[in-house]
Structure formats: structure tokens, C-alpha cells
Chains A and B, each alone.
Chain A
């Protein structure tokens, strides 16, 4: 009996303790005090205050790195092993700097986790943000790195739209964030389908009309083939492909939307969907009638002309024996090229914290993790290391493309993992899962020219709206997507036969208002920093 009571008491105590285990507080400042600390927002203009004697411009135009013993924290949703390798190389180069990395999954919780860390005074020195930029701007999370960015010569040799479209400035005069990962969007073409239909594969330098013509040509009711299946929408691509001034979704030019091109895109998209050029959607009777399997993915059917998908789909799926053995020969095309050569690509952004005490070093670490040549050299080494990571090779884990335009990096990158028609300087990696080289000589011959064109044409990416247009997410949720019983704008066009042009004026106005409200909120937040940072827009 006594034993029983003792066990009961112990269980109660254990339960009580475990409930309170999350309440622990470390010795760090929790920063819950409303009074901002003097170290906040000391990037850019005030960088010298923190550098002391080391505040000398080095050869590259940037202040010298500190020689003090410091610790930097980096929060990310990248491959944990890859980031650790880069961090180790960074620490080798700067032995006085200890780097602590914090890996989180790229899901809906990521940005919230970052805000929670900020709330508990554990703001990382530099970090990635996932998609939506608004939370970071309206809470003045992103530090001003204009001085570093504009004085760093390495930044002249990166994906050109980052500078021409002023990505990460968010329409202000401050560089607050910058792309860290780059995934060019791919419109995969199944060469086998084109061969079956006796069609020539489209030109790799295609324009919008050529793409639409190819989609229509690949749709053949006799052969049972459909033109396309989309993951990302054609609606997003149209303004990028047809407006040389467009630097974002819906015809965004950096200050406002030009939705007349969006309207043409929506109308074309609706016409293609209603005209049955799009493959049946999953879990429908149409899909069952087409493939005999209700739940089949259209791109697995072997009867699809184009699959609009993510960059990593090639390595993860299309280039696996399972797909190859079904006779599919997927090769990537960029989204249709605009007059300026821009295409659509996914960019994940990152920045340094407004509260970091080491902005210069945080910027350097961010560069290593994102776009810097030195960082990419380490990354390539790790990505090609199929011995250490033979169970799960790093290059198979949503590997991004380089952001730097360094030719050697790009050459090594492409030739190590993808086919090429050019003379090889680098051998392809050995694929430890399929136990064969990742790229064979045959693949070089058959698919090399497509990959060469793809990698040549993808280097002027225009990204999604939410990561670079303040207020974009708000605009979508309140004025574009379905609200209550009112269907979304795209559905009204496709299902109710409305003309997208009728929505243009109203949407442009709403979009502008949302952008203005978001920028006003950001200005207010940055004004609360100590010293205040004035955002001009």
C-alpha cells in the first residue's frame, strides 16, 4: 500500500516537473523589456561603433572582420548537414568566430518560430525567412545591410535581377534581405511524348506563344496525351514572360502592379484548362478514365507533354530508374523568356538581425551560407561527397542552384549533377542509391543541350510576390483568393466565364493599398529602433 502511494506521488511529481520543464530560462537577456537596447539597428551607418580598431576598409571595400572571440547564430531551413559543413569551413577561415546553426523545417511554423525566438531574446544574428516578408518588415527584424551590400564587389557577379530589380529592398532605400537559395522554375518536357506524337521538341529559347502552341500540340485525344499539368501556375509566368519591366507577380514593377498582363495570363490559363489541355486533376473520374488509377500523378502517366514543377523534381523523381523505366524522358525548359531574358524562379530570402552586435560578421556568414563563392565552393564539396552521405546524398535533398555567377562554380555544379553537351571538365558524381553515375554519357548526348540551355537562361530570375512585395500576402487573402462564399478571382474567370480584364482596376487599387499599408507598418516599426532607421519609399 505504502509502495503504491510512493509510486503515485512520484508520478505526480514527475508530471508536475515535466509540465514546468518548458519554463526554464537561460542566462541570456530575454529582451522582454520594451526599452530597445542600444545595440539595435547598428548595421550599415553605425557599423564602425562595433568594430573598434578593426574598423578599416579591407581590400574588398568592406570593413575588416573582427579579431575578437565572438559567437554567431544562424537560423535556417536548409539542409542541416550542408549548413554545418559551410559553418565549419567558415570557422576554419575565421577561427575567432564560433558559428551556431539552428535548423528548422520549412513549414508554416518556421516564421513563427523566428518570432518566438525574437520574443524570448534569442534572436539569431542572421537567418533565413520563409516566403512571406511582411512579418519580418512589420517587426523590424531585418537589419539594414545596404553599406555592406553595395560595397561588396562580389555582389556584382550574382544573378543579375537581384541587383537590377533591387530584390530585398522591398521598394525602400535599404537593402534589408537578399536571396539565399535559388530554384529556377522548370517546365519539364517529356521528349518521349513528343517523339510518339511525331512532334519536334520546342525551341529551348521559347517565348510565351511558342509554349502555348507546344502545349496545344502535345494534347492529342487519339493518343490520349494531355498538354500540361501545373504545380506552379501559368498565371504567375505570364507577366514575367511578357512585360520586360515586371520584377514580380502580377506585373509588379517595384512600385505598383500592372495587371493587364496578369489578366491576359488568367484568360489564357482558363482557356487552356477549359479547353482540356490540362491533365485531369487527381482523385477525379477523369483521372481514372485516363490512367485507370484515380490517384495517379499526371506526370507519372507517361502521357503528359509538360509538367510545370520545382527544380528539384528532376533529381528526386524524373531522373530515377522508376521514371526512366517507364520510358519517360523529362528535360527542363525555363519559363518562357521575356525580352529582357527574365524567367521565373523561386528565391528564398535571408538577412541579418537588427539586434546583432556583429553586423559585419553576420553579413559575412550570411554570404557564405547564401550567395558567396567561398561558401559555394564548400557546398559543392559537400554536395559531391557521396561517401559520407551515401544513405542520403546531400545533392538529392532539394539542392538549389548557385546564386553567384562565378563560371567555375556553375560549371562544376552542372557537370557534377546534370547532363551537358559541352566538353566535361568535371565528372558526374556517383549515385550511391542507384549505384551508377548520376549522369551517363548517353544522357549527355540526349539531354545535354536542354540542360545547357536551361542553366544558361535561368540566371535572371523573377521571384514570387510574397517574398519581395510588402503586403502581397494580405492582398491575396483579402482580395484575390476566395473569401467566404465568394470564389477566388481565378475561379470566377475559369468556372464562371468572367473576363479577367474586368478585375484589373479594382485589384490594382487593392494591391497598391495593401503595399502602402505594409510599408507604412514597416516604417513605423523601423522608427522604433534605437537609433531609428528611416525607410524611404
Chain B
């Protein structure tokens, strides 16, 4: 049988240009990651395996293997204790922030007066309350809701919940304003996603008698699910590397401490980044792992169709074979 040579598909001039433009836009990020992130990343891992003395005349590195890592987990209680609080607080704070951002985004997506103004208000903290401004606000007790009786809330939580959970939840209350300030970007992302949903879907649902509640669960939420993940990831990252994070402060002070230094602080930073990655992975699994009922049914239907097609092909082949056999016999 003669082999048919398939001609390779060549993109058109316009397509090539578009591709090129895509690469050009990605280029700054690539240069950034290769030039500014990758090297320090490798260097910090190298640091973590060494005891480092930063002499003015040059850096002295003494290789100590995984000693820094074993010290973190076996000798130094502070990192583990701070890590525990960080994990509890993050796991509680992320759903709070994402849910708040979604609610606000839906409100801002509605037809209300001064919509643009309110959108600006909610995004303003992202620009203003960052870095030192945030530190100042927290220092001046502006991170809590003034009318909230925190002592009473803490006492109540301590009474009914295990210590680590009570501590985590009460820290949410005491940093309520800060957490809401962190929602600006998430609101923006949700808003963009909500505006992309085809309105005909809602119209169709309403014709079929769907309530707003049902529309939210069956149209809005499934459609913006990828954004839900994006926001969860963004929130984890933003909570993990801000100035108020006690682990960041610990790593920082360790770097300058007598028995710490760059090596030990780098080991802490690596442990921390692994934990952050694990938290991100957990949220990704929770959000993307569970498919909704319609998606499951559609998948099942597609599977069924494929099965039927396979069966039909099989029957056709078998019929063809039988015909050939009968023809041979007849001959």
C-alpha cells in the first residue's frame, strides 16, 4: 500500500505574526524569571546547605549538608509554632477573602448607581494600603473593626473550639479589615469573569423558571470556577508574602541573628515555600477536583457515545469480515 505523505500544516503570515507578538509579550516575564528569579532561587538553595558568613571582604560558605533543615524541625521550636499558626490562619482566611470578593464583585456587577465609584473604592486599598502603609495601619490598630469586642469573641472561641482553631479564627476577627483590604484584586478578577458570562444563559434559565439562587449555583459558579481557583491561589500567595506574616518576619530576623544567618534563613525560606506550594495544591484539588453534576453527566454521556461508536465500529468490522469469509467460501 502506498504511503500517503501528509503535508505539514504551515501557519499563515498573520498567524505567525500573532505568535511572534505573543512571545514578545511573554519575553519580559521570561527574562525576569531567568535573570532575576532563577539564579537567586538556585543560590538560596545553595545557601540553605551552607553556614554563611557575610564578611565585608567576601562571602565565606561552609558546606553543612542538611543540618540547617534538621535544625529547623528538630531543634528550633519557633519555626514550627509559627508555621502551625500560619497554616491555620491561611486555611481559614482564604475562603473568607474569596467569598467576600465574590459577593462584592456580584454586587458591583449589578446595575447600581455610582458603580464605577464603588469599584474604585474597593480597589483603592490595593494601591494605597500596601507595604509600609499596611504596617503603619496595623501598628495603629486600624486592622480591626473598632466596635468588635475581640476579648469576648476570643473567650467564646476558646470555650468551644480547640486551641489552634480558636486562635486561627480569632486572628481572622482581629485582622478583619486587613483581610477585606486584601480583596481588591480578587474582586477585579471576579468582576471580569462575571462580565464574560453570556447573559442569554440567564435569560434561558429564567424562562425555564430558574430563580436567582439557582442561576448562581448552576450558571454563575460553574462558569467562574477557573477564576475561583485563580483567586484562591492569588490569595494564598498574597497572604504568604506580606509584611504582616509572622513567618516572613521570623525568616528576616533569623537572617540577622547571631546564630542564624543567610544559610539558616534560606533553609527556612525553602521549607516555607514548599508549605505554601502544598497549600496552593490543596486548594487547587478542592476547587478543581470536584466537578459539578452537569459536568459529570455530560462526561458520562460523552463516554456512552464513545462506547456506542466503538461497538458500532466493531459490529461493522465483524460484518465486513463475515462478508469476506463468505465470499471466499463461495469462491
Contact of A485 among B32, B56, B76, B163 (CB under 8 A): B163
User: Are A16's CB and B27's CB within 8 A?
Assistant: yes
Flag whether B64 is at the interface (Cβ < 8 A): no
Query: What is the CB-to-nearest-CB distance from B237 to chain A, in angstroms, rounded to a whole number?
Result: 19
User: Are B36's CB and A140's CB within 8 A?
Assistant: no
Q: Which residues of chain A are within 8 angstroms of B28 by Cβ–Cβ distance?
A: 12, 15-16, 19
Question: Count of chain B residues with Cβ under 8 Å from any Cβ of A?
Answer: 38
With A9-B24, A23-B35, A478-B78: A525-B256 Cβ-Cβ less than 8 Å: no
Flag whether B84 is at the interface (Cβ < 8 A): yes
Q: Which residues of chain B are within 8 angstroms of A137 by Cβ–Cβ distance?
A: 258
| B contacts, CB < 8 Å to A | 21, 24-25, 27-28, 31-32, 35-36, 53-61, 76-78, 81-82, 84-85, 141, 146, 163, 167, 252-253, 255-261
Question: Count of chain A residues with Cβ under 8 Å from any Cβ of B?
Answer: 60
User: Are B259's CB and A529's CB within 8 A?
Assistant: no
C-alpha spacing A36/B60, complex, angstroms: 8
User: Are A20's CB and B35's CB within 8 A?
Assistant: yes
Number of A-B contacts (CB under 8 A): 144
Q: Which residues of chain B are within 8 angstroms of A521 by Cβ–Cβ distance?
A: 258-259, 261
With A8-B21, A36-B58, A473-B258: A528-B53 Cβ-Cβ less than 8 Å: yes
User: Are A138's CB and B258's CB within 8 A?
Assistant: yes
C-alpha spacing A210/B77, complex, angstroms: 42
User: Are A522's CB and B258's CB within 8 A?
Assistant: yes
User: Are A140's CB and B31's CB within 8 A?
Assistant: no
With A112-B252, A138-B259: A36-B53 Cβ-Cβ less than 8 Å: no
Stretch with Cβ within 8 A of B (4 or more), from A27-35, A189-197, A380-388 = A27-35
Flag whether A471 is at the interface (Cβ < 8 A): yes
**8 A-B contacts, Cβ less than 8 Å apart?**
A12-B24, A20-B31, A20-B35, A141-B56, A282-B141, A524-B53, A525-B53, A528-B55
C-alpha spacing A40/B84, complex, angstroms: 43
Q: Which of A41, A354, A525 neighbours the largest number of chain B CB atoms within 10 Å of its CB?
A: A525
Query: What is the CB-to-nearest-CB distance from B228 to chain A, in angstroms, rounded to a whole number?
Result: 29
Q: Which of B76, B163, B258 neighbours the largest number of chain A CB atoms within 10 Å of its CB?
A: B258
Q: Which residues of chain B are within 8 angstroms of A39 by Cβ–Cβ distance?
A: 57
User: Are A477's CB and B56's CB within 8 A?
Assistant: no
C-alpha spacing A521/B260, complex, angstroms: 10
Looking at chain B's contact residues, the main secondary structure is helix
Query: What is the CB-to-nearest-CB distance from A505 to chain B, in angstroms, rounded to a whole number?
Result: 20
User: Are A477's CB and B57's CB within 8 A?
Assistant: no
C-alpha spacing A454/B256, complex, angstroms: 36
Q: Which residues of chain A are within 8 angstroms of B35 by Cβ–Cβ distance?
A: 19-20, 23
User: Are B257's CB and A283's CB within 8 A?
Assistant: no
Name B36's closest neighbour in chain A (CB-CB): A19
With A283-B141, A474-B258, A484-B85: A354-B21 Cβ-Cβ less than 8 Å: no
Stretch with Cβ within 8 A of B (4 or more), from A92-100, A115-123, A457-465 = A115-123
Q: Which residues of chain A are within 8 angstroms of B56 by Cβ–Cβ distance?
A: 31, 40, 118, 123, 140-141, 353-355
Give 1 or 0 for each of A322-355: 1 = CB within 8 Å of chain B CB.
0000000000000000000000000000000111
User: Are B257's CB and A135's CB within 8 A?
Assistant: yes
Query: What is the CB-to-nearest-CB distance from A30 to chain B, in angstroms, rounded to a whole number?
Result: 10
User: Are A34's CB and B259's CB within 8 A?
Assistant: no
